Amino acid sequence: MSGPLSGVRIVEFAGIGPAPFAGMMLADAGADIVRIDRHDKATYPPQEKPLLDLWNRGRRSVAVDLKNPDGVELALRLIDHADGLMEGFRPGVAERLGLGPDVCLKRNPRLVYGRMTGWGQTGPLSTTAGHDIDYISVAGALEAIGRAGQPPLPPLNLIGDFGGGGMLLAFGMVSALLSAQKTGEGQVIDAAMVDGAAALMTMFHAFRAMGTWKDVRGTNLLDTGAPFYEVYETSDGKFMSVGAIEPQFYAELIRLLGLDNEDLPDQNDKAQWPKLKERFASLFLTKTRDQWQAIFDGSDACVAPVLSIPEAAEHPHNQHRGTFTEVAGVVQPGPAPRFGGTPSSIRRPPPNPGQHGDEALVDWGIEPDEIAKMRSAGAIT
């Protein structure tokens, strides 16, 4: 056991996307997390071959029938021993199961009860379905992403599900756990992806207030409007990213592109940005990505190769830092951030539903004879 959250116990109700990602972060940081999976997804004896849903790594799984009163009682007994709980149900589902925050906090007043939804626990949209793309749309994030004259470009599901969702919940859990240690009182965390995506846009609200951001996609400093913050194709059909915002970095970019003797427009002359972008684009097409990488490596021009997922794991910088690791034969991002005194770790690969039922339940205070009775009654698999 290692990590700054070693000794913290969390019950996680199985879900998809952001809540499991929060669980991954907390488990990597040392929390002992028991994941309650659906009993009809499990086999007994459980399968041993790890699953590939990497965001579920680091936890132990118990398969429980939450429609069985004995299954609900088992979940409550685990919650009695927990510091935190995380669920990603639609609003009202946990309450209908008899596992809502009022019930759980009455039994365990120190409990931190984390709730992960797209729209939040309240509001006109709270009970409607949605996905990342919908949440970031209403948050005002998606409209701003894309090139001039083109539709908004969905940035995978990084902003809603993971940045504005899973990380927001993980931050909320740790903050509330610290509060509970001081006050002895737990609380409910209403983590909504629409809120988190909106929070990630704070800088752009500031830019608008300053008058330095236009509500025209692809014309601003960071949305591919600027020639010095852009992606350029190389002669082999690959790409280089350029982020030379500061004047000294821009000067280095110009020098290494071989343009330092040309009469170029001022860096911040927005009227000349399209013309300058064409000049940069034509230059980048004269060499391969590897050739440009060799030119820019070690410089302060803020230029980097655009790597594929497998290429990223092989990059020398990432290999030096151990940014990626291999667990059970699968290459994957390692724990982040780094803790100097209490290092994080991936303690186990993603579990099969119910894989650690007996082991985890005994560790959490359930006697073996009780486990056998619950299995006979169909409360667990």
Looking up residue 263, the CATH number of its domain turns out to be 3.30.1540.10
Q: Are residues 46 and 186 in the same domain?
A: yes
- Pair (105, 133) in one structural domain: yes
The whole-number pLDDT of residue 44 equals 78
Q: Is residue 252 part of a domain?
A: yes
CA-wise closest residue to 240 among 287, 310, 274, 279:
287
> What pLDDT does residue 47 have?
81
**221 found inside a domain:** no
Structural domain span for residue 117? 9-200+323-376
Using the 3D structure, point to which of 305, 335, 351 is the last residue of a domain: 305
Residues 73, 195 within the same domain: yes
Q: What is the pLDDT of residue 1?
A: 62
- Shared domain check, 362 and 243: no
Q: Which of 141, 199, 139 is nearest to 168 (CA)?
A: 199
* pLDDT by residue, tens only, the chain of 381 residues: 689 999 999 999 999 999 999 999 999 999 999 999 999 988 878 787 888 999 999 999 999 999 999 999 999 999 999 999 999 999 999 999 999 999 999 999 999 999 999 999 999 999 999 999 999 999 999 999 999 999 999 999 999 999 999 999 999 999 999 999 999 999 999 999 999 999 999 999 999 999 999 999 999 999 999 999 999 999 999 999 999 999 999 999 999 999 999 999 999 999 999 999 999 999 999 999 999 999 999 999 999 999 999 999 999 999 999 999 999 999 999 999 999 999 999 999 999 999 998 999 999 999 999 999 999 999 999
Contact 167, 25 (CB under 8 A): yes
Considering the domain boundaries, does residue 111 fall inside one?
A: yes
Residues 256 and 114 in one domain: no
The C-alpha angle 300, 304, 308, rounded to 5 degrees, equals 160
In a domain, 265, yes or no: yes
> Looking at the domain assignment, is residue 28 inside a domain?
yes
The C-alpha angle 126, 129, 26, rounded to 5 degrees, equals 80
Looking at the structure, tell me whether residues 128 and 95 fall in a common domain: yes
Q: Looking at the structure, tell me whether residues 290 and 328 fall in a common domain.
A: no
| Residues 294, 367 share a domain | no
For residue 210, tell me if it sits in a domain.
no
Q: Write down which residue in 274, 305, 336 finishes a domain.
A: 305
What are the residue numbers of the active site?
Answer: 131, 161
Q: Is residue 316 included in any domain, yes or no? A: no
Q: Are residues 277 and 167 in the same domain?
A: no
The answer to whether residue 334 sits within a structural domain is yes
User: Rounded to an integer, what distance in angstroms lies between the CA atom of residue 293 and that of residue 42?
Assistant: 49
Rounded Cα distance between 93 and 86, Å, is 13
Q: Give the CATH number, domain containing residue 35.
A: 3.40.50.10540
How many domains does one find in the chain? 2
Residue 48 is predicted with a pLDDT of 79
Question: Do 28 and 54 have their domain in common?
Answer: yes
223 is written with which tokens? 């949305």
Residues 243 and 102 in one domain: no
Query: Do 339 and 272 share a structural domain?
Result: no
- pLDDT the model gives residue 58: 97
Residues 6+ apart with CB under 8 A from 27: 33, 57, 58, 59, 347
- β-partners of residue 190 are 115
